[in-house]
Structure 1
Amino acid sequence: MTKFTPFSAALLTALSAAGAMAEVESLDPIKLTTHDWTGQIITTTIMGEVLKKAGYNVEYVQADYIAQFAGLKTGDLHVAMEIWETTGREAMDEAFGTGKVVNMGPTGMKAIEEWWYPSYMEKLCPGLPDWQALNDCAAEFATPETAPMGRYLGGPVTWGGFDDERVEALSMDFEVVHAGTDAALFAELESAYQREAPIVLWIYSPHWATAKYDGKFVEFPPYSDECYNDPSVGVNPDSAYDCGKPTGPIWKVAWSGIADKWPGAASAINAFDIDNDTMGALVGKVDLDGESISSVVSEWMSANEATWSSWIK
């Protein structure tokens, strides 16, 4: 039986009085990581607030998307709610191979991350969405800083994604310029879209952008594991990453000790499930309507109590 200090007992009593479940396995904080895009913070906050309803002590920790795996391996961090198949697969596989990080199942969301352009660019570059058309039209995407090369606006460097490697492997006449933040990425898209200015950039889904803006994803050679890992596979026999990005689930991962220390919390994390449309709408309320993440999460929880309460039963 877990031994509680007087402070812990007092905290548990307070949580119980507030309507939380009276029995949790440990009041040590469960550390959930947050990153630098709105959707991930919403996903994590929903999970954290549900765990609080169950009586758990939750701490949100800002962490780098890829570098966080070091903390998950040691148990200094406990839960990462969004690891995208598109960008996180290599880091996941390496971490799972150590036995110190475990897969907590899909979030219910499906990930798409790829180069994207507004539809008006097809007038200037009629070969789109074929990736090979971009080389013929590189000058149309150039900026004073990149000319004569076209400019591709990538996500923050911490997101990974192998865009620099892809440009080199496919001999594209483009320079990758990384946005400093998620907000900066979409602010530049908004500005370009309003002016019908040339732009090709990283877009991901679930997100409100694919609903708000008329555009298309660039069609690269199809992704395969071999394309990323075997240079001889793909259109360039001397380079890996000569293909598009993978698509697939967005995963939840955790420190391997979570099920032993907090089995009830682990069960709730496994049960978490939300879809692309729901998340896209929630992100839009924050990024477009100016609502706070806390108010958006609170509103969702009030409207979906039957859903989240089933995760903690």
Structure 2
Amino acid sequence: MRVKRTQGAIAALVTASALTLGACGGDSIKNADQPAGGKDCGEMNMAVNPWVGYEADAHVVGYLAQTRLGCTVNYKNLDEQVSWKGFGSGSVDVVIENWGHPELQKKYMSDQGGDGTAVDAGLTGNDGIIGWYVPPWLAEKYPDITDWKNLNKYADMFKTSESGDLGTLYDGDPGFVTNDEALVKNLDLDFKVVYAGSENALIQDFRNAQQNKTPMIGYFYEPQWFLSEVPLVKVDLPKYTEGCDADPEKVACDYPPYPLNKVVSSSFADSGSPAYDLVKAFKWTNDDQNLVAKYIAEDQMDPDDAAKKWIDANPDKVDAWLKAAGVSS
């Protein structure tokens, strides 16, 4: 989710998500069974960043590490920047879904000039997209609203008590990757960025906007299970070209595509734990992630139960990951 990044529930959804994350944060779950002939897995400290797609990744990998590799998995609810700080101290071993973050790479990865406490562990298979979105009813009623050049014409429609005389552009968690304040300024848009505060709040705001036919424009992203419930429509910003976002203060282009990757601590990579091999092998699709995220957020399943349901239904993918970790099916 990214620089700062992407991702909404007030009422029941907020409560459900808070309970879900609260239940996994800081917990240690150990399975006593070690893989036959395998190496001792030891502990794996898994950061859980604050969006449900990440949570889906984390618990699928974590559940397999617990039940098939015999690891003790410690889930830690942290934002993106804090997660990377934990690589050097040993408090974090794995960031299972990274949205770019060149500033963190330069600080912590040796091949980027950093201190060498973090290393890349390969792609997740997920393609990340960040942008501005409107509810479907709004795009249907005002088709030209999906071109950024026309947004000022509609700015008054988006006024709220939080934005005064300007239109409100909603962002999610302040820790998400976002260029939105710079974009509003550099594109001379009559809008003010207002933070909804969380992925759940942003989702609920979009849900309400569609149900009640109220105007809303906001930051959002894919992969994201909610888009199967409300197919938000992306606004066309000036086309992204390589380097157009090099200066965060001067950004005036759309977000780049984000091939999402995994990042681990150097000490974890060198530990010999089969959990590292599992993390490296883990790769799935946006549809895979969205399904597990839906189980957690919409169906309100326990994250480990959601992971098990997907794992049981996808033996071929799971067996390939486990084989890389030295475990036969």
| TM-score by shorter chain over 0.5 | yes
Q: 1:54 aligns with which of 49, 65, 69?
A: 69
Deviation at 1:165, TM superposition (A): 1.8
Distance 1:68 1:191, change over 3 A: same
Work out the CA distance in 1 between the residues paired with 2:311 and 2:139: 42
Which position in structure 2 is the counterpart of 1:15? 33
Letter of the aligned partner of 1:189 in structure 2?
F
Q: 2:55 aligns with which of 23, 26, 41?
A: 41
Q: Say which one has the larger Rg.
A: 1
Deviates more, 1:221-230 or 1:265-274: 221-230
Which position in structure 2 is the counterpart of 1:92? 105
Which position in structure 2 is the counterpart of 1:7? none
Residues 41-120 of structure 1 aligned to structure 2 (within 5 Å)? 41-52=55-66, 53-85=68-100, 88-96=101-109, 97=112, 98=114, 99-120=116-137
Query: Unpaired segments of 5 or more residues in structure 2?
Result: 1-29, 324-329
Distance 1:165 1:25, change over 3 A: same
Work out the CA distance in 2 between the residues paired with 1:190 and 1:297: 26
Deviations 1:114-145 (A, max 9, x none): 11012322366442221111112111111133
Query: Unpaired segments of 5 or more residues in structure 1?
Result: 1-11, 232-238
Work out the CA distance in 1 between the residues paired with 2:288 and 2:41: 32
Q: Is the CA contact (8 Å cut-off) linking 1:39 and 1:279 kept in structure 2? A: yes
Which position in structure 1 is the counterpart of 2:321? 311
Give the % identical residues: 26
Letter of the aligned partner of 1:24 in structure 2?
K
Deviation at 1:287, TM superposition (A): 2.1
Which position in structure 1 is the counterpart of 2:284? 274
Residues 103-182 of structure 1 aligned to structure 2 (within 5 Å)? 103-122=120-139, 125-182=142-199
Work out the CA distance in 2 between the residues paired with 1:70 and 1:166: 28
Distance 1:13 1:133, change over 3 A: closer
Letter of the aligned partner of 1:285 in structure 2?
Y
How many equivalent residue pairs? 290
Work out the CA distance in 2 between the residues paired with 1:126 and 1:115: 15
Letter of the aligned partner of 2:266 in structure 1?
S
Taking only aligned residues, the RMSD between alpha carbons, in angstroms, comes to 2.3
Scaled by the length of structure 1, the TM-score of the pair is 0.85
Work out the CA distance in 2 between the residues paired with 1:176 and 1:151: 6
Deviation at 1:246, TM superposition (A): 1.2
Q: Is the CA contact (8 Å cut-off) linking 1:104 and 1:269 kept in structure 2? A: yes
Which position in structure 2 is the counterpart of 1:285? 295
Letter of the aligned partner of 1:95 in structure 2?
Y
Deviations 1:232-282 (A, max 9, x none): xxxxxxx52111111121110010122221342222111101101121122
User: In structure 1, the residue corresponding to 2:269 is in which secondary structure?
Assistant: helix
Deviation at 1:93, TM superposition (A): 4.2
Scaled by the length of structure 2, the TM-score of the pair is 0.81
Q: Is the CA contact (8 Å cut-off) linking 2:32 and 2:70 kept in structure 1? A: no
